[in-house]
């Protein structure tokens, strides 16, 4: 199965303890949608936007086989409009893996890029007919 964009169901809110995760973030804009690949047990979800987080640099969770990786994703540039091909150049800040996942570094990055491409220009609200992504990874913490 591939990544799909969907609203998080009540069942999944319980299964993944989404309410507890939400309580960890005080900024507005916690998303009720995600990009998920159920077969591989991976999802991508925005967890903080709004106050203190610009529209270009937001906090996301990348859940990979039971582990949370917190990221800041910055949109450096983008082009395209509604119902047409879109392109974006994004930078991931603060990409740090726990020791037990370091051997999976390349696979995790590949899965993250795949999820971001599936998310397109807005997850369940995406209108792009196709989506191309240039992705930079900064493994140090963003200032």
Q: Is residue 143 part of a domain?
A: no
Structural domain range at position 12:
4-137
- Sequence-ordered list of residues with C-beta below 8 angstroms from that of 2, at least 6 positions apart, any chain: 37, 118
| 71-111 pLDDT per residue, tens | 999 899 999 999 999 999 999 988 889 999 999 999 999 99
**Which H or E run contains 7?**
strand 4-7
Residue located via tokens 């969907």: 6
- Sequence-ordered list of residues with C-beta below 8 angstroms from that of 99, at least 6 positions apart, any chain: none
| 17-73 pLDDT per residue, tens | 998 888 887 665 678 999 999 999 999 999 887 545 455 568 899 999 999 999 999
User: What pTM did the predictor assign?
Assistant: 0.88
Sign (positive or negative) of CA dihedral 40, 46, 48, 53: positive
Q: Is residue 49 part of a domain?
A: yes
> What's the total number of domains in the chain?
1
Q: Is residue 35 part of a domain?
A: yes
Q: Is residue 142 part of a domain?
A: no
């Amino acid at each position: 199965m591939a990544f799909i964009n969907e609203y998080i169901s009540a069942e999944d809110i319980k299964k993944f303890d989404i309410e507890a995760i939400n309580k960890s973030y005080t900024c507005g804009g916690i998303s009720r949608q995600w990009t998920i690949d159920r077969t591989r047990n991976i999802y991508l979800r925005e967890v903080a936007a709004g106050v203190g987080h610009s529209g270009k640099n937001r906090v996301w969770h990348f859940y990979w086989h039971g582990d949370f990786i917190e990221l800041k994703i910055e949109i450096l540039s983008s082009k395209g409009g509604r119902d047409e091909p879109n392109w974006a150049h994004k930078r991931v800040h603060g990409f740090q893996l726990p020791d037990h996942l370091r051997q999976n570094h390349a696979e995790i990055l590949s899965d993250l890029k795949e999820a971001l491409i599936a998310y397109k220009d807005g997850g369940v609200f995406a209108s792009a007919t196709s989506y191309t992504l240039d992705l930079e990874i900064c493994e140090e913490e963003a200032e």
